[in-house]
Amino acid sequence: MDNAILMMAGIALTMIIFIVIPELLRQKREAQKLEKDRPDSVVLEIPADVAAAIKLPREGIAKALKIELAVHLYATGILSFGPARRLADMSKVDFHFLLGRRRIERQYDVEDYEKDLANLEKWEKRTAQN
């Protein structure tokens, strides 16, 4: 039986060395290539006449526009909550309150619920062990 276990361990190790690791390295290279192709940030140019027509105070207009864009992209489902609140440069709580004030429904489906439930169960197990 010991020989069978050693043989199985050898096969598993061989698979890890020759199949799993090269695949992980390939995926990492591919992800790095995608990151290189993605800009660090995007600059949006607004024509002067359009900027002048925006009904927001000139002071803080960039922040206000980022918030408006974040809310719109979230409301239309283009951005999820996390990236939208980062675009708005707001805390989770503040962004939740902003969405509430604007009566924007949260994008929360059964899949999100199941993920939250699984995370809660993991947390309960960890706290029970401590």
Cα separation of 35 and 29, whole Å? 10
Torsion angle of the four alpha carbons 32, 37, 43, 46, in this order, in degrees rounded to the nearest 10: -150
Instruction: Enter the pTM of the model.
Output: 0.57
- Count CA atoms closer than 13 A to 49's CA, side-chain side: 0
Q: Is the dihedral of CA 64, 70, 74, 78 positive or negative?
A: positive
* Residue ranges for the chain with pLDDT beneath 50: none
pLDDT digits (tens, 9 = 90+) for 48-77: 888 889 888 888 888 999 999 999 999 999
The total of other beta-carbon atoms located within 10 Å of residue 107's CB is 14
Cα separation of 46 and 52, whole Å? 10
DSSP tag of 59: T
